[in-house]
């Protein structure tokens, strides 16, 4: 399957020019368990072994990074390293000093002083994890990747089809064509073959149990005993 690419036209406020940029749409997801099975395919280890190792990496890697260490996780150089972020500007410093002065007017604070290195404190920093990918990975991926240009309408349509597929895979299809009532569990019990859209006294050919009233929800579609062959009901269809 090719990479679905959609092109967008944007305006760059800095250069005052329009620019065309691509973006990937309709990406699929490979879940963790499926990844473990894929990695174990053709190997002497099982999917459970792969899963156990990856879970250990998930648990131990942050602890090693917290010791200010870089961790190389692949023969080709996949590297995880600690990263720090945080900043303060001259305007932010001024707003911070003005807030302190407003809280206590007796303080001698120069709100217009120059920014110093000490104004960025440890409490303003945030730790995160940076990932360095091997160059061979990009080369290997680029040699396999293919592109398919799609329009915006096609992207929206493909997204809708994906949602419909996900919804259709859950539960069973409800073949009850009687608009007066709903079957909450279409996969359980017998099928409701009553196809009368107008009038039904409630005791037609319901092979999965008895429907007490027409137009109401059948709470237990599979708990009827042998069905009702319509001995007492009339069907005006």
Q: How many angstroms separate the CA atoms of 203 and 211, rounded?
A: 7
Tell me: pLDDT of 132 over 80: yes
Mean pLDDT of 16-28: 89
Which helix or strand (DSSP H or E) is residue 62 part of? helix 47-65
Mean pLDDT of 118-133: 94
Residue 103 lies in a domain: yes
Q: Which of 185, 210, 190, 187 is nearest to 200 (CA)?
A: 210
Entry pTM: 0.56
Helix (H/G/I), strand (E/B), else coil: 55: helix
Residue 95 lies in a domain: yes
Residue 43 lies in a domain: no
Which of 81-85, 108-112, 159-163 shows the lowest per-residue confidence on average (mean pLDDT)? 159-163
Residue 155 lies in a domain: no
Residue 104 lies in a domain: yes
What is the reported pLDDT for 228?
46
Q: How many angstroms separate the CA atoms of 138 and 230, rounded?
A: 69
Residue 21 lies in a domain: no
Q: How many folded domains does the chain comprise?
A: 1
Which helix or strand (DSSP H or E) is residue 5 part of? strand 3-12
Q: Which residues pair with 11 in a beta bridge?
A: 18
Q: What would the pLDDT profile of 36-69 be if each residue is shown by its tens digit?
A: 999 999 999 999 999 999 999 999 999 999 999 9
Residue 71 lies in a domain: no
Q: Whole domain around residue 115: which residue ranges?
A: 90-124
Tell me: pLDDT of 91 over 80: yes
Residue 112 lies in a domain: yes
What is the reported pLDDT for 114?
94
Mean residue pLDDT of the chain comes to: 76
Helix (H/G/I), strand (E/B), else coil: 103: helix
Q: Which of 22, 29, 10, 28 is nearest to 149 (CA)?
A: 22
Most confident of 89-93, 150-154, 162-166, 207-211: 89-93
Tell me: pLDDT of 136 over 60: yes
Residue 117's contacts (CB-CB under 8 Å, 6 or more residues apart) are: none
Task: Locate 124 and state its tokens.
Answer: 């303003």
């Amino acid at each position: 399957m090719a990479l679905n690419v959609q092109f967008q036209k944007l305006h760059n406020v800095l250069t005052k020019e329009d620019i065309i940029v691509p973006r990937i749409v309709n990406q699929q997801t490979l879940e963790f368990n499926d990844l473990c099975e894929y990695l174990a395919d053709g190997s002497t280890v099982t999917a459970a072994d792969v899963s156990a190792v990856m879970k250990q990496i998930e648990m131990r890697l942050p602890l090693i990074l917290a010791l200010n260490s870089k961790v190389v996780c692949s023969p080709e150089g996949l590297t995880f390293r600690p990263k720090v972020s945080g900043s303060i500007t001259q305007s932010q410093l001024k707003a911070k000093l003005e807030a302190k002065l407003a809280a206590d007017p007796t303080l001698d604070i120069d709100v217009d002083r120059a920014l110093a290195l000490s104004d960025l404190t440890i409490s303003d920093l945030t730790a995160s994890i940076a990932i360095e990918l091997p160059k061979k990975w990009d080369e290997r991926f680029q040699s396999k990747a293919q592109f398919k240009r799609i329009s915006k309408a096609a992207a929206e349509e493909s997204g809708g089809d994906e949602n419909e597929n996900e919804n259709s895979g859950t539960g069973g299809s409800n073949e009850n064509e009687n608009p007066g009532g709903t079957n909450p569990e279409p996969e359980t019990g017998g099928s409701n073959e009553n196809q009368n859209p107008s009038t039904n006294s409630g005791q037609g050919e319901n092979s999965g149990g008895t429907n007490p009233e027409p137009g109401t929800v059948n709470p237990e579609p599979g708990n009827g005993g042998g069905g009702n062959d319509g001995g007492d009901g009339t069907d005006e269809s």
